[in-house]
Amino acid sequence: MRTWAWEWTLPAPPGRLWPLVSDTDRLNRLAGLPPVKFRFEPLPAGGSRTVAEARLLGGLLRLRYREAPFEWVANRRYAVRRVFGRGPLRWYTATVELHPAGAETRLVQTIVLCLRWKFIRPLIPLAESRMRARFARAYARLAEEAGAGAAPAGAGPRASTAEEKALRLLGRARPPLEGEVRRLLARHIAAAPDHEVRAIRPFALARRFGRPRPEMLEACLAGVEAGALDLTWAVLCPHCRGAQQRAASLAEITSESYCPACNVHFEAQFDLSLEATFSPVPSLRRVEAETYCAGGPQNTPHILHQVVVPAGQSREEEAELPPGAYRVRSPQSPAYVSLRALPPAAPGEQRLEIALGPEGLTPPQSDLPGGRLRLVCRNRTAGEALFLLERTAWADDAATGLDVAFFDRYRRLFGADAFRPGEGLAVQNVVLLFTDLKGSTAMYEAAGDAAAYGRVRDHFGILLAAIRENGGGLVKTIGDAVMASFKAPEEAVRAALAMHAGIARWNAERGREPLVLKMGIHAGHALVVNSNDRLDFFGRMVNISARTQEASQGGDIVLTPPVFEDPGAAALLAGTPHREEPLSLSLRGLEGSFQLRRIWPLAG
C-alpha cells in the first residue's frame, strides 16, 4: 500500500474554491487523466453501483473498476473509493480537503493505493512526481479563476475567432440581439469550458452575469434563430438532476422516465423536470463529449452533504445550513425528511439525528435554526446506505417547460412543436390568468368592425406587454380574451394590476368609449397537452380559472384562495391601493361553492 499526501496553499477562500475543485470532471481533464465510460448496475435495496472503464498507454491498458458513491461536505472535503477487478491496482481512495487559512486555503490531497502488480513498485515515485505536478498545475489554474476572475481554460486566439463569429450570428436574429447580453453570450459560447457549453442554462448565466432571466432566455432563443445555438429538451431525474431523456423536439418527450444512476422510475413534470438547454452548433464550436468523472459534488451541486453509512452504524458530520428549505433522502428509503432552516436565533451548534430503518427515514420533518449543524446519520438496516442532505430549490436555475414553451420568441420559432397526441406532462403548480373585454360585442356593433378591431389590437398590445414584463407567457387568445400562465401568484397579480393601469392610460389618452377589462386568476395542478398541434393546459384547475374570470364585473380582478393567500401576492396587494370584497359563489359547470376575493385597484 502506498500513500501520496500533497499540500498546496491557494490564494482564494474555500467558499470560492469549492465549486471549482469539486468539479471533478473538469479537474481530472485539466490534470490530464484519461476519459472514462460509466454504466450503472441497479441494486436490490435501491440505488445503483457505478461501474467504469478507462484506458491508459494509448489504449493498451484497460482499467475496469467499481466506484463507491462520492462522499462530501460542501466547502470542506470530498472523497471516493474505486475497486479494480484486474490490472496494476486492487483499489485506491482519493480525498481532497479544504482548510481555511485567512483569505487563502490550504488544500490537502491524499491518495492511497493498494497494488496488485508488485513489480511496478520501483515506478511509483516517478508516477507520484508526475501526478503531483499535473494536479499542481490544475489547482493553480482553478485558484487563478477563483481569485482573479480569469478567463476559463480554453480561451485564446481560437476562442477570439469563435467569439467574433458568434457575435455576427447573434446579430442576424430578428429582432436582432443587441447590447451587453449579446457580447456576454458570444464570449461564453467561445471561451467557456466544454462542460459549461455542452448544456448552456440561460438562467444560470443570468445569475452569473447579473442579467434579467428573460433577457438571457431571449438571447439564447435568438441564438437558435440565428443558427448559433441548438436547443435540447432534457428530462431531469428529480433526485440526481441527471438528464434521462434528451430531445430536440417536445414531440419526442414521454412522461414516464427512468434514472439508472438512482434506480428510480419517475414521471416527468413540465414545471420541474423538463429543462431547455442550449449548445453551440458544430460549425461554431465543437464541444468535447467525453466524460472524465460522473460522480463528483458538482455533478449534483444541490447536494450539500453525502455520506455512506455501513449497516448498523452511524456517521456524524458538521455542516453549514443557511436558512432555507432542505431535505434528507436515501436511495434505500421511499420517504424523505423535510427540513426547514430558520433564521438563527443565537450563535451555537444545532444537532439533528436522522435514522434509516426498515420503514424508511425518520423523522418525517424538522424545523431548526440555520447555521452550524451537527448531522447524525444512523443506519438501522442490514445493508449499506447512502444519506444525502440537499437544497430543495435545486431547480431554480432550470429554464423549465413552463418558463420556455410559452415565451414569445419560442412560440414564434417553434409554435407547432408539441407533445405527441395522447401524451402530456403534469404541472405541479401553475398560475393561470384569464381576461376578457366587457361589452366587446356591443363595441363592434357601435364602432364598426375596423375601428373595433383597432381597439382590440391596442388592448392586446397592453396585455402582452404586462404578461412579458412580469415573467408570464401567452398561452392563447380566444376572440378578444387572453389566457396567460405564470410560475408564481405574485407575478400574475402584478401583471393584472399592470393591465388595468395600461387600459386606464389608453382610455385617458383616447377619450372614447372606455375599454373595460374582466380578469380572474387561479393557481393549482394541471396537465400540459397537445391541443390542435399547440401546447395548452387541461384539467379542472383550468375550468376554475376560466369561470373565475366570468365572476369579474369589469375593472376588477377576481382571485381564488391559492392566489390571495400566497405570501408574495398578499404582500404585493398590501402595498397597492385597492379595496377588496369577499365572495362566495357557485361557478358555472362546477360543483360546490367557491370562496373568492374581488380586488378593485384604486388610483394611487
Does an H or E element contain 240, and which?
none
In the structure, how many helices (H) and strands (E) does the chain have? 16, 30
User: How far is the C-alpha of 546 from the C-alpha of 524, rounded, in Å?
Assistant: 13
Position 159 scores a pLDDT of: 64
How many Cα neighbours within 13 Å face the side chain of 476?
12
Within a domain: residue 369?
A: yes
Task: Give strand ranges (E) for 380-516.
Answer: 385-391, 424-437, 473-478, 481-486
Position 268 scores a pLDDT of: 93
Within a domain: residue 366?
A: yes
Task: Give yes or no: residues 169 and 128 share one domain.
Answer: no
User: How far is the C-alpha of 573 from the C-alpha of 578, rounded, in Å?
Assistant: 8
Strand pairing report for 229-236 and 243-247: antiparallel
Q: Do residues 166 and 284 lie in contact, with contact meaning Cβ atoms separated by under 8 Å?
A: yes
* Cis, bond preceding 331 (omega within 30 deg of 0): no
| DSSP SS3 for 12 | coil
| Cα angle: 289, vertex 294, 300; to 5 degrees | 110
Strand pairing report for 264-267 and 256-259: antiparallel
417, burial (CB in 10 Å: exposed 0-12, middle 13-18, buried 19+): buried
User: How far is the C-alpha of 430 from the C-alpha of 232, rounded, in Å?
Assistant: 23
Return the C-alpha cell found at 235: 428530462
Task: Give yes or no: residues 139 and 16 share one domain.
Answer: yes
CA-closest candidate to residue 154, choices 122, 126, 117, 196: 196
Task: Give yes or no: residues 510 and 543 share one domain.
Answer: yes
Q: Which residue is it, cell 467569439? A: 163
Phi, psi torsion values for 85, nearest 5 degrees: -75, -30
pLDDT digits (tens, 9 = 90+) for 64-110: 999 999 999 999 999 999 999 988 999 999 999 999 999 999 999 99
CA-closest candidate to residue 248, choices 231, 269, 229: 231
CA-closest candidate to residue 177, choices 229, 228, 211, 218: 218
Position 422 scores a pLDDT of: 84
List, in order, residues 6 or more apart from 373 with CB less than 8 Å away.
318, 319, 320, 321, 349, 350, 351, 352
DSSP assignment of 123-152: GHHHHHHHHHHHHHHHHHHHHHHHHH-PPP
Task: Give yes or no: residues 489 and 369 share one domain.
Answer: no
Residue 513's domain is classified under what CATH number?
A: 3.30.70.1230
Task: Give yes or no: residues 225 and 354 share one domain.
Answer: no
Task: Give strand ranges (E) for 11-116.
Answer: 36-42, 48-56, 61-67, 71-73, 77-84, 89-101, 104-115
Return the C-alpha cell found at 283: 460549425
- Other CB atoms within a 10 A radius of the CB of residue 5 amount to 11
Q: Do residues 146 and 17 lie in contact, with contact meaning Cβ atoms separated by under 8 Å?
A: yes
Within a domain: residue 365?
A: yes
Task: Give yes or no: residues 439 and 585 share one domain.
Answer: yes
Within a domain: residue 33?
A: yes
Task: Give yes or no: residues 309 and 253 share one domain.
Answer: no
DSSP conformational letter for 604: -
Task: Give yes or no: residues 481 and 519 share one domain.
Answer: yes
Q: How many distinct structural domains can be found in the chain?
A: 4
Angle between helices 202-209 and 213-226 in degrees, nearest 10: 130
Domain stop point among 86, 118, 148: 148
CA-closest candidate to residue 92, choices 67, 68, 113, 116: 113
Does an H or E element contain 313, and which?
none
Q: What is the SS3 assignment for 377-401?
A: EEECCCCCEEEEEEECCHHHHCCEH
Radius of gyration of the chain (CA): 28
Within a domain: residue 410?
A: no
Residue 36's domain is classified under what CATH number?
A: 3.30.530.20
User: How far is the C-alpha of 595 from the C-alpha of 296, rounded, in Å?
Assistant: 50
pTM, full prediction? 0.81
Residue ranges making up the domain that contains 113: 2-148
User: How far is the C-alpha of 339 from the C-alpha of 391, rounded, in Å?
Assistant: 9
Domain stop point among 377, 392, 407: 392
Within a domain: residue 409?
A: no
Return the C-alpha cell found at 178: 443587441
Task: Give yes or no: residues 374 and 425 share one domain.
Answer: no
pLDDT digits (tens, 9 = 90+) for 327-384: 999 999 988 999 999 988 777 889 999 999 999 999 999 999 988 899 999 999 999 9
Task: Give yes or no: residues 423 and 566 share one domain.
Answer: yes
Q: Do residues 548 and 433 lie in contact, with contact meaning Cβ atoms separated by under 8 Å?
A: no
User: How far is the C-alpha of 173 from the C-alpha of 457, rounded, in Å?
Assistant: 25
DSSP conformational letter for 565: T
Domain stop point among 253, 271, 297: 297
User: How far is the C-alpha of 138 from the C-alpha of 20, rounded, in Å?
Assistant: 10
Position 194 scores a pLDDT of: 81
Task: Give strand ranges (E) for 194-323.
Answer: 229-236, 243-247, 256-259, 264-267, 274-280, 303-309, 314-321
- Other CB atoms within a 10 A radius of the CB of residue 364 amount to 10
Q: Which residue is it, cell 398590501? A: 574
List of the chain residues with pLDDT < 70: 59, 148-159, 393-395, 511, 604
Q: Which residue is it, cell 432542505? A: 326
Within a domain: residue 407?
A: no
Distances (CA, A) of 413 to 179, 226, 464: 22, 11, 18
Task: Give yes or no: residues 280 and 174 share one domain.
Answer: yes
CA-closest candidate to residue 99, choices 13, 19, 3: 13
User: How far is the C-alpha of 268 from the C-alpha of 235, rounded, in Å?
Assistant: 6
Within a domain: residue 124?
A: yes
Task: Give yes or no: residues 314 and 290 share one domain.
Answer: no
List, in order, residues 6 or more apart from 28 with CB less than 8 Å away.
292, 293
Return the C-alpha cell found at 346: 443565537
| DSSP SS3 for 219 | helix
